Structure 1
Amino acid sequence: MRIRRLRSLGLALIVLGAAVLVAPTLGFDSIDAERRVSADAAANPNAQLGLQQAYDGTQIQYVDGIFGDTVVNATVANVTNRVGNPLTVDARVASIDWSGGSDAVLEVSNDGDFSGQLATNGTVPIRLGCSQQVSGTATDATVGITVDGSGDPVSVQGATIAVQNVAFNCDGAGAGDGDPPDDPIPITDPRIDLQVVGQPAATQGFFGANSVVTYDLENTGDDPVAVTGIHIADASAGSRVRRGGDELTIPASSTGNLDQTDGLSIGANAPQYDLDQNATIAGGQTAGVELGQFRAGSYFWQQVDMRGESVTVVLMVEGLNVSGREDPVPVEMTLSVQ
């Protein structure tokens, strides 16, 4: 089963017969209903997208327990649609100020709350939950939430609210060493002197599960390259990569490895992880890559069979000399696992 961790959630809010209200914070005093307009909205309960804090101190939780998971989501704000036309609204976590640093630890979790219509001046909550991507605990986090509304003739962009003193206890993978890499280059791009050789395979992990993905990576250039980091952008099975030892090994001229205590997160918003030891692949050399175990949770019995699944990996690579790109260059490869 594909498990995706999303930090944004489209909230379809249909507003019936609402009057157009324009607060002075929006930067203009009237709206021409004959044409499409867009407004920037600040945190204001009376604005077109009225945002108001509603957090009562409930600790947001996801605890991956032996006998079952503990999941607690919390309402942190309310949103009111005061525009005179229907809006499709998107609410997302924009930032989280806490000691762990990762913005991926929490996500909007309003599944099913917005399936019906919202009457004029009606209000619905914005709830937050653990993303299950990143581990972390906080008692005084400040969470920034951004809400956009798309409609005709009126659209509202950039309504924001900062909810303070948010408490959470989230199990997940390690927090990582940076944001997901920007603009990765496909490994099939002719500028990239790397290629996947042969057929990626799933091999046995602990207790016989085929939870470890292996493949061969060839340096087709003349000069050595160094793999310095990894981002797992997608997987059709599993929510994290974790094992009692190195999650990633690349035996090469200089063997690279990565051992994360809480494992590696999977998903578009998952962080980038720096290798504990960089892997150097000489010109013309083929190196084996081993990534595992893929699991549905923290425990070894939650390993998933990766045979017939797909995995998208971004490796951070130095020494490729790609014009216009600085080292390390993010190189993306999608693996069809047998």
Structure 2
Amino acid sequence: MDYFSKSYHPPGTPPGTLVAVEGGAEAPLSIRLIDYTAAELREQELANAGECQPYLQGPSNTWIHIQGYAEPAVLRHLGELFNLHPLAMEDVFNIGQRPKMESYDEQLFVILGLATTDDSIIKTRQVSLFLGEHYIVSFCNGNRDPFGPVRKRLQKNGKRFQSRPIDYLFYTLIDVVIDGGFPVLESFGEELEDLEVELLRCPTRDTLAWIHRIKRELLLLRRIFWPQREVVNGLLREDHSPISEGTRIYLRDCYDHSIQIMELLETYREMTSSMLDVYLSSVSHHTNEIMRILTIIATIFIPLTFIAGVYGMNFGNNSNSPWAMPELNWYYGYPLIWLVMIGVAALLLIFFKRRKWF
């Protein structure tokens, strides 16, 4: 996984520049339009951005979602149709932006980070939203459309949903992105449980690599979730004309979810840091256990080596000296020395056992 990746133009490029970069087309472009009033709803795939123009003339609410890689020409066309600010379109094109909120006249621009899991791999995508008087334009890079559940709600509970202003749909899209953090963090919780079991049972070098990977991924998620909370707080606290008082009530719930996600994230980060300390303590304890066993073995063999060294000096052949070793000429001298050495080792083992050294 790429950490802290961001697309950007070369330094010195004029602001608002949209220039295609090599390798940018990561997913095919898909443009989907939903136009609705309190009485009816129309949904269709668009071949190009210009096909949405007829829907902008009436009083209906229009939602246009662009999924995948949008060429600069497509972005310029959309910018002209909806009068989107060039700086905002540059942020849409250069993915990897920090979550933020900008206000342009009667238009709101919000960038959010969507975290997903794919085969236990954390992936992040940028979601960009424009809110106008009767329209929403949303962008998301990647192949997977995150707003499928919202379209199903519009189709199943259309009358109730369609009777609300367009800013309620704007809140719903933000809520989908924010709540996407819960299943990601849930997968981290399960992974941390497995990691804790392995850590207490038999930690290895792979365990250390596992801990560091989780720490890096949690750091990446914090880089997304922390400013995202401030974005929702800004939408809730500041006075923005496209957002009605009725929708602010729902934004409170969205803000509450963002706080819960941040609390879970910080909890998991603290758990991971403590697991790293436990790993280091466990490795140190394991090393100390090995050193204690080796010390016990060495301590047992020290007196045995001394005895073997004394009777290996070969002074027994000097029969004229009163200081010669008479034990070397004993009939049972050899087995007797073995019994002494075994007795010394046994006494040392009993002493260590009573002191609870092993």
What is the TM-score normalised by the length of structure 1?
A: 0.21
Task: Identify, as 1 or 2, the structure richer in strand.
Answer: 1
- Structure having the higher Rg: 2
